[in-house]
Structure 1
């Protein structure tokens, strides 16, 4: 339960950082929402697209995936959102590097800026949140299985299985009276010896 809550908070923080990143400068003072999403596949141009025709669109999609994943406690959906954010960020860096010849980082506002750091950090937080989450019913099923296990005294040599299996061995008599002896011989009557009642002279 605690892992799900902690992972959800981290994932939602990552989704918020990713959605806010296009409203900050990405390269040479140009905002991330001023990059057309098609430029990521054909090459960066100077066109200024509409809000939902920009790089903001995949980040909004990732945020929706995150909210659904948190609601369903699905690690897969949250991890997929992180892959989407990091994938589009890396793809933008590749296209921007091709257009500018190189990617630089400087403190005077030129080169890579805070928007890229926000997008990359948001993607990492999404993956971290997915790793922290325990998923649906993982801990609850484990606790339920432990509750159903029989109590075993410390130091007991009984096998750790239920129901216990009985080892083959001699049967144990449960009746207080001894069982009658049964002669297993089933042939003709045995010879009991000479008839002592007959005269000895015959």
Structure 2
């Protein structure tokens, strides 16, 4: 949060410096707003430009991109705005150097002016702001107290529609080995044997009550 605030302040300061720079002297007392945008691609001329069609146009575009980057906390947008300001400033310096045979810096108002310094400083501030900003973070997912763990699906056991092999288990159903029953809640396997009555087994002695 603090990094985003500091980065936003630096970004807005850099965009302000870039937009203000064309209204300052760029070379030999000539303001940046007097250079036509097409002169940056076809060569510097003495024709003065309108404010809308001057070098102010790409800087104003960079300011809008900066504002969007601050609102959406996008480091890429702020960095793109800084590269735009620096790119057009360097391109202007190359064209003026070709037209003048070189660039000079003097203290008597000739040569490079403070408008170029404002533009370069604004572009550097925008790049610095993109490094300082932390950007947007993905929202954290929170679970309600006592809820299931992420990635795990829980359901009651046994399921409501589960029917063991051989039919349902209940008081009126046959005993199924390995399944819980009312008499055997632990589901222990059982074995049953059919024992014939004593009078049908020749080798079986009758009970004492039936002996002669």
The CA RMSD over aligned residues, in Å, is 1.7
Q: Within 5 Å, which residues of 2 pair with 1:64-83?
A: 64-83=64-83
Distance 2:50 2:112 in 1: 22
Tell me the matched-pair count. Answer: 145
- Structure 1 unaligned runs (5+)? 149-161, 164-202
Determine the C-alpha separation between the residues in 1 that align with 2:32 and 2:50.
12
Q: Within 5 Å, give how 1:3-152 maps onto structure 2.
A: 3-137=3-137, 144=140
Task: Compute the displacement of 1:137 (Å).
Answer: 1.6
Structure 2: distance between partners of 1:130 and 1:10: 9
Which consecutive residues of structure 2, in runs of 5 or more, have no partner in the other structure? 144-149, 152-212
Residue 156 of structure 1 aligns with which residue? Answer: none
* Residues 146-172 of structure 1, C-alpha deviations (whole Å, 9 max, x = no match): x99xxxxxxxxxxxxx99xxxxxxxxx
SS at match of 2:49: coil
What is the distance in 2 between the residues matched to 1:29 and 1:19? 18
Higher RCO (C-alpha under 8 Å, 6+ residues apart): 1
Runs of 4+ in structure 1 over 3 Å off: none
- Equivalent position SS for 1:26: strand
State the Cα distance separating 1:65 from its structure 2 match.
Answer: 0.1
TM-score by length of 1: 0.69
Question: Which residue number in structure 2 is paired with residue 182 of structure 1?
Answer: none
